[in-house]
Amino acid sequence: MSAVEERLAALGHQVPEVAAPVASYVPAVHTGQHVFTSGQLPFVEGRLLQTGKVGGEVSADEATACAEVCALNAIAAVRGVVGDLDRVTRIVKATVFVASTPDFTQQPQVANGASELFAAAFGAVGQHARSAVGVPVLPLDSPVEVEVVVEVGP
């Protein structure tokens, strides 16, 4: 078990198996020193944790929890292509999409669910650039989707 997985376990989290893609793509691609994940939805054991719009049928707190699950799924996708999460030398960039009502403006707070998990799992290496983007709809009516760019070493 990697040190990253041990830190997550201490927080009560387990890196899941890589979620199957919902269309024609792969969960992550490793090229050179970087891993690019596809957008990760808040799947838990093959089911979406929540559906709907944030600011509507999904609360900000529920969406933040979804962002955390998306981040765990992104970590799983990274592990799926590099094997050992201790090879991660930097979480470079996270993009968090939040399907929200037109009047909802707290996308950055929702995105903190992912950012804080990356920081807890990877320490200083988990500090990253980020975009939090409000969108009208996401695949499968998911409230949140997270993609990440990661730098890895040998």
Convert the pLDDT of each residue in 114-150 to its tens digit.
999 999 999 999 999 999 999 999 999 999 999 999 9
- Strands, DSSP E only, in 11-107? 28-31, 34-37, 43-44, 47-48, 88-99
Rg (CA), the chain: 14
In total, how many domains does the chain have? Answer: 1
Q: What is the pLDDT of residue 41?
A: 97
**Model's pTM, two decimal places?**
0.96
pLDDT at 154 over 90: no
Read off the CATH number of the domain in which 19 is found: 3.30.1330.40
Q: Kindly report, residue by residue over 5-24, the tens digit of the pLDDT.
A: 999 999 999 999 998 888 99
- Residue range(s) defining the domain that contains residue 111: 3-152
What confidence score (pLDDT) does residue 22 get? 87
Give 29's strand partners.
36
